[in-house]
Amino acid sequence: MAFDIARIRAAYPALTEGFVHFDGAGGTQTAAGVIDAVTDVMRAAVGNRSAAFEPGRRSLELVAAARSAVADLLGAEPDGVVLGPSATALTYTLARTLGAGWRPGDEVVVSRLDHDANVRPWVQAAEAAGATVRWAEFDRHTGELPTGQYADLVGERTRLVAVTAGSNAIGTVPDVPAIAKIAHSVGALVCVDGVHSVPHGPTDLASLGADVLVTSAYKWSGPHLAAMVADPARWAALRPAKLVPSADAAPDRFEYGTPSFALLAGVTAAVDHLAGLDPDAVGDRRARLRAGLAAAQAHEEALLDRLLAGLAARPAITVYGSPARRCPTVSFRVAGMSPAATQRALGDAGFCLSSGDYYAYEYFQTMGLRDSGGAVRASIYHYNTADEVDRLLAELDAVADRTGTMAR
Ligand SMILES: Cc1ncc(COP(=O)(O)O)c(C=O)c1O
C-alpha cells in the first residue's frame, strides 16, 4: 500500500501551523482523534471509579479501554498493562519493587546505549540493595550494541537485564531477542525500554523476549501518559509499595493515585489512530496495528535513507553511528557550530529538532561529546515528508553559509 501522506498529515491539526517537526523522539504532535476523545471526556459527566453510578462506570470503562488498547499495540494482555504518568515514573516504581528483593552480590546489567530512564532507576535500586551494576558497551563507530558481550556480563547472580529496543540518540535497534535469551538462561528478568522503538514499527512483547516493556503514548501521537506491560502473572507476583486503602489487585496496585481519565481516553484514541494508518488493513485492531505500523515504518525508512544520504554528502556534517538496524533517528554535528547554535538557527527557520544529550547520558558521556553540547537530533515520524527532509538539508546549508561554516 502506498502511504497516503496527505491523508496522514490531515489527521494532525498542529501540522497546519507550518513548523517542520523532526522532534518526534521528544514527543510527536497529537492526532485529531486523540484531542476529540480527551475533550469529550472532559465535557462529559465522569466521576471517580465506581460501579454504582453511570459517571463512575465511565471512568472504570476508560481505564479498561486504555489497557485493552495498549495490550493490542504491544501484543500483551489487558491485565498485564500498568498505566502511569511517564516511562520514567513507571520504571522507578518497578525498580524500587524489584530492588527490594535484591541482595548484596546480586547483579543487574544496564547499557550505555540506553536513555537514562532505563539506566538510573536500576543503578540506584542496585546501590540501595548493595547489588552490583554491570555495563554493556556500544561500539563507538557503528553505535551497535554487540550481543556477544552479554554472555560475559550475565551470570548466575544476574537478576535483571535492562536494555533499549531503540536508541533515542542514534536509532540503534539492538538484538533484544538474543540478549533476552542469554538473560533468561540464568533466570534473569528482561526489562525493555520501548519508548523510542514502539512508534516506529509493529511491536510484540513475546517475540522481543521482554518480561517487561515500557512505552510512552506521547511518542506515538497520544497524550503524556505511559504504560508498562508484562504477563499478568508477573504483576501478580510483585508487591510494590502502596497506600493501605488503594486497590490491591494487579495491575491496579502499581498505579499511584487517581488516573487521568480524560488522557486515558486519548491513549485509546491514539492506538485507534495507529490502527487506521493503513486504511486497507482488515482484521482485529491488533492486525490493523501491525499493518498500519509496518506501512509507517516503510515510509519512515525511505525518509531516513534520504536524510542519511544528504547528510553524508556534506563533509562538514558528522553523523554519529551507522547501526545496521535502526529507528529513523540521527544525531549529528555541523563543524564549527555548537549543537545548540545549530538547533537555534534551524529553530529560527521553523525547524524543530533537539540538541544536547536528550537524556542519553551514558552514550554522550562515553563518546566524549556531552560536555561540548552533545549533538543535534533529527528524528523522523510518519507524518514527515521527503520534501521536509530536502528542506532540512537545504536549511543546514543556509545555516552553514550564514555562519561561514563550510557545510558543503
Ligand atoms: C528511549 C526513551 N526512554 C525513556 C524515555 C522517558 O520517557 P518519559 O518522558 O515518558 O519518562 C524517553 C523520553 O524521551 C526515551 O526517549
Residue 117 near ligand 1, beta carbon < 6 Å:
yes
Determine whether 142 is exposed, middle or buried from the number of CB atoms within 10 Å of its CB (0-12, 13-18, 19+). middle
Average pLDDT over residues 152-179: 98
Residue 166 CB neighbours (<10 A): 30
Inter-CA distances, 122 with 57, 148, 255, 344, Å: 37, 22, 19, 34
Residue 203 near ligand 1, beta carbon < 6 Å:
no
Please name every residue paired with 296 in a beta bridge, in sequence order, or none if there are none.
Answer: none
For 81-135, the pLDDT digits (tens) are 999 999 999 999 999 999 999 999 999 999 999 999 999 999 999 999 999 999 9
Nearest to 220 by CA among 112, 347, 87: 87
Distance CA 212, CA 90 (A): 11
Output helix, strand, coil percentages for the chain, rounded to the nearest 5. Answer: 45, 15, 40
pLDDT at residue 406 above 80?
no
For 6-60, the pLDDT digits (tens) are 999 999 999 999 999 999 999 999 999 999 999 999 999 999 999 999 999 999 9
- pLDDT at 407 (0 to 100): 44
Residue 137 CB neighbours (<10 A): 14
Question: In terms of DSSP H, where are the helices of 246-350?
Answer: 261-275, 285-312, 339-348
Average pLDDT, the chain: 97
- pLDDT at 222 (0 to 100): 98
Atom of ligand 1 nearest to the CA of 216: 10
Question: In terms of DSSP H, where are the helices of 3-106?
Answer: 5-10, 32-43, 54-74, 87-99
Inter-CA distances, 79 with 66, 67, 86, 253, Å: 11, 7, 19, 12
Average pLDDT over residues 213-235: 98
Going by the DSSP 8-state scheme, the letter that residue 374 receives in this structure is: B
Residue 228 near ligand 1, beta carbon < 6 Å:
no
Average pLDDT over residues 223-240: 98
Atom of ligand 1 nearest to the CA of 166: 1
Q: What's the gap in Å between 88 CA and the centre of ligand 1?
A: 7
- pLDDT at 403 (0 to 100): 77
Distance CA 343, CA 279 (A): 36
Residue % of the chain over a pLDDT of 90: 97
Going by the DSSP 8-state scheme, the letter that residue 196 receives in this structure is: T
Average pLDDT over residues 302-322: 97
- pLDDT at 402 (0 to 100): 81
- pLDDT at 1 (0 to 100): 60
Q: What's the gap in Å between 314 CA and the centre of ligand 1?
A: 31
For 246-287, the pLDDT digits (tens) are 999 999 999 999 999 999 999 999 999 999 999 999 999 999
Q: When comparing pLDDT for 5 and 407, which is higher?
A: 5
Q: What's the gap in Å between 305 CA and the centre of ligand 1?
A: 25
Atom of ligand 1 nearest to the CA of 196: 1
C-alpha cell at 239: 508487591
C-alpha cell at 279: 486504511
Atom of ligand 1 nearest to the CA of 85: 10
Distance CA 194, CA 110 (A): 15
3-class SS of residue 48? coil
Average pLDDT over residues 303-310: 98
Model pTM greater than 0.75?
yes
Residue 115 near ligand 1, beta carbon < 6 Å:
yes
For 372-382, the pLDDT digits (tens) are 999 999 999 99
pLDDT at residue 408 above 70?
no
pLDDT at residue 306 above 70?
yes
Average pLDDT over residues 301-325: 97
